[in-house]
Amino acid sequence: MTRGATIRDVAKRAGVSVSTASLALNGKPGVSAETRARVLRAALELDYHPHTAAKNLADGRTRTIGLIAPISLEHLFSSASFFMKLFRGLHHIAQRKGYVLSLYIAESDDEAALQIKSLVRSRAVDGLVITNPTFTSPYLEEIRRYRVPFVVIGRPVGKASFVDNDNQAVGWMATRHLIEHGHKRIAFISGPDRFTFCQDRLLGYRKALEEAGVPYSGELVWRSEIVEEDACRVVKENFPKIRFTALLAATDVQAVGAIRALKEMGIKVPRDISVVCVNESELARHFMPSLTTVDLHERELGRRAMELLIQMIEDGVVREKGIYVEASLIIRESCGCNYGKGGGNEKEQGASQKKSGKG
C-alpha cells in the first residue's frame, strides 16, 4: 500500500520548514505570496490533502469542524431557509479562520450519538457544532468524556456552551402582539416536546397570557412535527371543535400548514383568524398573506457559535458559556395589522423594545 504524502514531504519539495508549509496550507499570515504558491504547488504535485492527514500537521489539528444535525431529512428540507442561513453564518467564520465545515445528518439522537462517538474517537474533527438539542441528548456525555470542544445551537439540557435565542421571550413576544390586538382565544401549534426550543416557546406563550390576565387553556395547545402536512392535519382536527380567534405557530412551516387548512375549510386569514409565527424566510415574505413572524437572525446564531468554538479550539480551553442573540418581530399581513390598509408594509420590533413597551 502506497504511503500518502505528509506535510514533511510537502515542505521538503517546496524547500521550506514544516511550520512554514503549515502556515501556507492553512491560509495563515506570515508567508510571502511566492512561498505560499510554491507550497501549494508542491501539495498539488504530491496529492497531499491536509484535511485528511491531521496527524501530519505541525499542530496536530485537522482544521475540520463537524456539524451534527440530529433531525430527520424531512425536517431539514422543510426548514431549509432556517438551516441555510444558519449554515452560512457557520461557514463564513469557519472559512475566514481556515477551517473546513463537514455536515453530518442523523435521523435520531441515537444515530447522532454513534456519529459523534466515531468522530471524537478517531480525532477526525477539532470540534463540533450540534443543532436542535433535545431533552435526552445522549451524545453530550460522550463529547465531555473526550474533552472535545463543542458548541450547541439551541438550549441544551445540562452544562454546555451554547448559542441561542431566548425562546421564552420569542413565544412571549409573538403572543403579546396578538393580545395587544384584542385576542384572548389564541391557539398555539407547538413542535415536538423533545426539542427544548418548543418547550421554551410554550412557556413564553403561557407567560404572556398570564401577564395579560388571560386564562391558559390546554385545549388550545396542539403539537405537530415541523412539517407543513402535519400542521395542516392538526388544525383540521381541532378547528371544528375548539373556538379561537388567533393562532401562533412555532415555525413558519407550521403556519403555512395551518393557513392552508383554514383556507380549505373556508376560513380567511387574517379576516377571520389572525396568524403569527416564528422564523423569517422567503416563505414568510412571499406567502399569501405574508406572514407576521419572529426573526431569529439565524446567520448571526451561526457566526457567534463558530466564533466561540474556534476560540475554544485555539485557546485549548473547553468553556461552558451561553450566548443569546436577540430576536425581532416583523409585522406583515397575516396578523391583521395591515389588513385593509394596502398590506405588504413591514414593521420590525426588537425583543427588548417590545418587552419594555416602547415603540
**Percent above pLDDT 70 for the chain:** 89
Locus of grid cell 406583515: 332
What pLDDT does residue 213 have? 98
User: How far is Cα 250 from Cα 284, in angstroms, rounded to an integer?
Assistant: 13
Mean pLDDT in residue range 241-260: 97
- CATH number for the domain spanning 91: value is 3.40.50.2300
Instruction: Among 56, 73, 97, give the residue marking a domain's end.
Output: 56
What pLDDT does residue 351 have? 54
What pLDDT does residue 244 have? 97
Range name among 19-28, 56-65, 121-130, 156-165 with the lowest pLDDT average: 56-65
Residues 18 and 113 occupy one common structural domain: no
Kindly tell me the burial class for residue 198, based on how many C-beta atoms sit within 10 Å of its own C-beta (0-12, 13-18, 19 or more).
buried
What pLDDT does residue 352 have? 42
- CATH number for the domain spanning 33: value is 1.10.260.40
pLDDT, tens only, 107-147:
788 888 888 888 887 788 999 999 988 888 777 877 888 88
List the 322-324 sheet strands across, edge first.
100-105, 64-69, 127-131, 150-153, 162-164, 322-324
Mean pLDDT in residue range 156-169: 93
Residues 15 and 49 occupy one common structural domain: yes
Residues 40 and 153 occupy one common structural domain: no
pLDDT of 51 over the 60 cut: no
Question: Does 211 fall in a domain?
Answer: yes
Q: Residue 36 is placed in which grid cell? A: 505560499
pLDDT of 214 over the 60 cut: yes
What pLDDT does residue 1 have? 40
Structural domain span for residue 150: 64-165+298-324
Q: Which letter does DSSP use for residue 121 in this model?
A: H
- Global confidence as pTM: 0.78
Contact between residue 129 and residue 104 where contact means Cβ atoms under 8 Å apart: no
What pLDDT does residue 119 have? 85
User: How far is Cα 335 from Cα 173, in angstroms, rounded to an integer?
Assistant: 13
Kindly tell me the burial class for residue 323, based on how many C-beta atoms sit within 10 Å of its own C-beta (0-12, 13-18, 19 or more).
middle
pLDDT of 210 over the 80 cut: yes
Residue 355: pLDDT band (50, 70, 90) is: very low
pLDDT, tens only, 54-64:
443 456 678 99
User: How far is Cα 258 from Cα 233, in angstroms, rounded to an integer?
Assistant: 8
Question: Does 2 fall in a domain?
Answer: no
pLDDT of 86 over the 90 cut: yes
CB-based burial, 50-61: b 16+ in 10 Å, e otherwise:
beeebebbbeeb
**Domain tally, the chain:** 3
**Helical spans, DSSP H, in the chain:** 7-14, 18-25, 33-45, 73-78, 80-96, 109-121, 139-146, 167-180, 196-211, 228-238, 252-264, 282-286, 298-315, 351-356
Peptide bond into 289 cis (omega under 30): yes
Handedness of CA 34, 40, 41, 46 (dihedral sign): positive
End-to-end CA distance of the chain: 70
Residues 160 and 307 occupy one common structural domain: yes
Higher pLDDT, residue 281 or 41: 281
Closest CA to 232 of 270, 174, 292, 189: 189
Higher pLDDT, residue 271 or 62: 271
Question: CA 93, 98, 104: angle at the middle one, nearest 5?
Answer: 70
Residue 280: pLDDT band (50, 70, 90) is: very high
Mean pLDDT of the chain: 88
Residues 69 and 124 occupy one common structural domain: yes
Higher pLDDT, residue 358 or 232: 232
Residue 357: pLDDT band (50, 70, 90) is: very low
Residues 124 and 265 occupy one common structural domain: no
Higher pLDDT, residue 317 or 307: 307
Higher pLDDT, residue 52 or 255: 255
H or E element in which residue 292 lies: strand 292-295
Residues 27 and 72 occupy one common structural domain: no
User: How far is Cα 221 from Cα 96, in angstroms, rounded to an integer?
Assistant: 44
Residues 289 and 181 occupy one common structural domain: yes
User: How far is Cα 278 from Cα 169, in angstroms, rounded to an integer?
Assistant: 12
Question: Does 31 fall in a domain?
Answer: yes
pLDDT of 345 over the 60 cut: no
What pLDDT does residue 113 have? 84
User: How far is Cα 129 from Cα 138, in angstroms, rounded to an integer?
Assistant: 15
